[in-house]
Structure formats: structure tokens, C-alpha cells
Amino acid sequence: MKILDGKITAEQIKKEIKVEVSQYIDDGNRPPHLTTVLVGNNPASKTYVRNKEKNSKLVGFTSSTYNLPEDVSEKKLLDVINFLNNDKDVDGFIVQLPLPTHIDEQKIINSIDPDKDVDGFHPVNVGKMVLGLDTYLPATPSGIIELLKRNNIETTGKHAVVIGRSNIVGTPLSILLSRKSKFGNCTVTICHSYTPNIKDFAVQADILVAAIGKPAFVTADMVKDGAIVIDVGINSIPDETKKSGFRSVGDVDYDEVSKKASWITPVPGGVGPMTIASLLMNTLKAYKKRFNLF
């Protein structure tokens, strides 16, 4: 078994971005600028936003954050987005999800300028992705493809089984894995909450992706010998040995499944860091488009 190390791969990508950014700055350009909009105090969301700020600064971007209260009105949030859409100093921005239930998430996503939508969630960008047109790819699926690419893992002709059909991970990843491309060309099966006997599909996978949100959902009996296993899950479980009282585990029973897999992503340090690296790649792309730096 080989560890598909997202932390190391993401570090390489960040180093490359940092070199490219410093060249633009030497040429007299301003740095790329990523803005994050955070609504409320969800502890996981706060951690993710801090991560994005930290890594943006690490590669030489300007980073800014709008912290809005939990009870902010939909109208006020739309006003902030409208301001960012028109702010020439901001190349790309994201609205951290999930949003409080009184706000219509789709309405918010629809209001983002597709050219600044570095999460790739706007319907225009989703449509472009489906058609294989140039766009911002959603960060987690794009990070997974990049992780396979940079570790020279062949995908062509393989059977990929994706467990989970969210708009953010399962659905777009199934499209990227099946498209006509060097790191696509898979036959893809999507499993979800209405799939009877997910195990019957999972055991057939050459590439198995777990994006369900249930700790240790994928057990060793569900995995074919030599499969490539991608664990997208981040679940917090009680752990008395930790300061916080919790630790992060994926959707895969890592200890048992790693005995059968040819490659496996750890949690933490697998898909998560690649998600951040992809967001930075999208932001650099938005910046280059704005200033015609190609």
C-alpha cells in the first residue's frame, strides 16, 4: 500500500504558485486577492476559513474575510456579494458553506459573478464543467484529479465507484472522472442513499471514492485487492487522548482498508489539503484572467 499524500502534493503546488506570484510582483503587478465571506460561528467553517487565509498568505496572495453575524439578512449578504462582484481589488471570493437555514443558499450562489466564483459553484460554471469548457472546477473534485495526476496514477479505462452524490463532491467528481481526458476516461458508478447493497458496487471499483459523511463507512470487505481508495470524509469523533477531546476520521476504515488498497488517502492530510491547493489555483487563474497574464 502506498499513501496518497495530499499534504506533500499540496505543498508542491503551493510552492509553484508562490514562485509564479513572486514573478508577477517582480514585474510590478499587485498580488492576487482572495476574499472569504463567513456567516455565523460554525466551528468547522471557522477552521476552514482560517486555513484558506493562512494558505493564501503563504503563497503571496492578499487575503481578506468578511465575518457576518449568524442572523444577517439575506438582503445584507446579497449586498456584500454585489460589492465584491464590483470590487476591482478582489480577483475571486467564496461564500463559506453551509449558510444558516434562513438564507437561500442557491440564491446566494446565483448572485456571485461567475468570473469571481473560484469555488466553481455558480450554475454557469457548473454548466461549463459538464460541457468540458474552460472554467473554475470545484475545489475538492479538482484536487482529487490533481492528486491522481501528480502521483502518476492511471485512470483511463478504470471503473470508478463514487459513493455520495452531493453538488460539491460526488456529482462533479463523477463527471470529471468520466470525461474524455488523460486523467478521466473512467467508467463511473455513483452510489447514494437509495442504492441497495452499496458493497456489491464498491467491490468492483478500481478507484473507490468515499464521500458519504459517515465514519468508517467503507470497510475492508467492500474493497477489491489493489484498489485506489480516496477518502473525502471529515468526521469528528470523541478521543480522550486529544486536547480538544476529538479527532478527525474519514469515511474509510483506514487501518483495515489500507491492507488491501494499492493507494489510499489518509485523513487528515489527504483530500483536505488538495481542496485548499485547488482553491488557490482557481484564484491564481482568476487573477491571470483579470490582468491578461498568460
Cα radius of gyration (the chain): 19
Give the nearest distance from C-beta 293 to ligand BQF in angstroms: 27
The answer to whether residue 15 is catalytic is no
Angle (CA) 14 19 22, round 5° = 120
Residue (55 or 224) nearer to ligand BQF, CB: 55
Length of the chain: 294
Is the peptide bond preceding residue 98 cis, with omega within 30 degrees of 0? yes
Residue (178 or 236) nearer to ligand BQF, CB: 236
Alpha helix positions (H), the chain? 6-26, 43-58, 74-86, 105-110, 123-131, 139-150, 170-178, 198-202, 254-257, 271-291
Residue (81 or 186) nearer to ligand BQF, CB: 81
The tally of CA atoms less than 13 A away on the side-chain side of residue 239 is: 11
Give the nearest distance from C-beta 274 to ligand BQF in angstroms: 8
Give the nearest distance from C-beta 182 to ligand BQF in angstroms: 25
Give the nearest distance from C-beta 170 to ligand BQF in angstroms: 12
Q: Which residues contact 151 (CB under 8 A, 6 or more apart)?
A: 4, 9, 263
Residue (112 or 234) nearer to ligand BQF, CB: 234
d(CA 258, CA 199): 17
Nine cell digits for residue 21: 506570484
Nearest-CB residue to ligand BQF?
Answer: 272
List residues binding ligand BQF (CB under 6 A): 48, 51, 97, 234, 267-269, 272-273, 275-276
Give the nearest distance from C-beta 127 to ligand BQF in angstroms: 23
| Annotated active-site residue in 96, 116, 206, 285 | 96
The answer to whether residue 87 is catalytic is no
Nine cell digits for residue 144: 482529487
Give the nearest distance from C-beta 236 to ligand BQF in angstroms: 11
Check: CB of residue 176 under 8 Å from CB of residue 168.
Answer: no
d(CA 192, CA 61): 38
Residue (6 or 186) nearer to ligand BQF, CB: 6
d(CA 230, CA 148): 10
The answer to whether residue 52 is catalytic is yes
DSSP 8-class letter at 42: -
Residue (234 or 286) nearer to ligand BQF, CB: 234
Q: Kindly list the catalytic residues.
A: 52, 96, 119
